[in-house]
Amino acid sequence: MQDEWGRDPSVRNIRRLFASMETAQTELLDKLKLSPFDPRLRRAREEARALFERVWAEVASKRRAADEQEGCSLYLHCLVRSLRQSGIQIPDEAFTDQKRFERLLP
């Protein structure tokens, strides 16, 4: 059976975005020496995903040019914010793209 959805350019873009987000998340957790099984991660990931979806929808509705790199950076920003709210210490140098999205987040 062929993947008909996989031929759609917008679906391919979203798949690439999700793959980039997953890779970036793994790299961040490695950098923080945080186990992927840390019990605080589930809630932080859920909150980051919900925040990302709201903000990404707003960015898309304004018809701004939003590419894979921007989407990935925005997700990491949401994740870092959620991790910090969960009590996980994240040094500023671990995530250098903080200021870029501050104005977009509630």
Chain segment 30-75, per-residue pLDDT in tens: 989 999 899 999 999 999 999 999 988 887 777 555 677 888 888 9
* pLDDT class of 101 with cuts at 50, 70, 90: low
Amino acid at 34: L
Reported pTM: 0.81
Beta-carbon contacts of 25 under 8 Å, excluding residues fewer than 6 positions away, are 45, 75, 76, 79
pLDDT at 9: 77
Q: Is the pLDDT of residue 79 over 60?
A: yes
